[in-house]
């Protein structure tokens, strides 16, 4: 079994999953918006995380009408939000742990 960061999807598969032409995905790569892994033979492979990012990029362009610069800003904001959400999750777990310790001291 693989994790979401393992490059397992060839560009043709990604193209079918998302519903865009392979050249569109190559353009995103050329613009530096996604960076696929490469096989020894040079074939592009994308992880689940990258596939989801390509989907987001497509939505930002088609739905929001963003240009390349706008997509770059959104991508940075999206990553920052994800990092903050993960940090928030960790802080909540730490708070639960501290509350349990506090309750143990009160019960003592």
CATH of the domain at 22: 1.10.1660.10
| Alpha-helical runs (H) found in the chain | 11-18, 22-30, 48-62, 68-107
pLDDT on residue 93: 94
19-47 pLDDT, tens digit each? 999 999 999 999 999 999 998 998 999 99
Q: Is residue 1 part of a domain?
A: no
* Residue-range definition of the domain harbouring residue 90: 9-107
Q: Is residue 95 part of a domain?
A: yes
pTM score of the predicted model? 0.77
Q: Is residue 98 part of a domain?
A: yes
Task: Give the tokens for residue 22.
Answer: 């392979």
Round to whole Å and give the CA distance between 17 and 3.
18
Q: Is residue 3 part of a domain?
A: no
Round to whole Å and give the CA distance between 96 and 82.
21
Residue 17, exposed/middle/buried by CB under 10 A (0-12, 13-18, 19+)? middle
**Sequence-distant (≥ 6) Cβ neighbours of residue 51 within 8 angstroms:** 9, 14, 17, 18
Q: Domain total for the chain?
A: 1
Q: What pLDDT band is residue 108 in, cutting at 50, 70 and 90?
A: low
Q: Is residue 2 part of a domain?
A: no
Q: Is residue 4 part of a domain?
A: no
More confident residue, 88 or 101: 88
Q: Is residue 67 part of a domain?
A: yes
Q: Residue 38's beta-bridge partner residues?
A: 44
Task: Give the tokens for residue 107.
Answer: 């019960």
């Amino acid at each position: 079994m693989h994790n979401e960061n393992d490059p397992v999807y060839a560009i043709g598969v990604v193209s079918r999953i998302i519903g865009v032409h392979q050249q569109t995905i190559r353009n995103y790569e050329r613009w530096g918006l996604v960076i696929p892994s490469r096989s020894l033979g040079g074939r592009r492979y994308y992880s689940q995380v990258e596939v989801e990012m390509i989907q987001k990029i497509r939505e930002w362009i088609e739905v929001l009408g963003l240009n390349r610069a706008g997509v770059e800003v959104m991508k940075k904001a999206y990553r920052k939000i994800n990092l903050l959400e993960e940090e928030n999750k960790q802080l909540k777990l730490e708070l639960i742990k501290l509350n349990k310790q506090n309750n143990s001291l009160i019960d003592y």
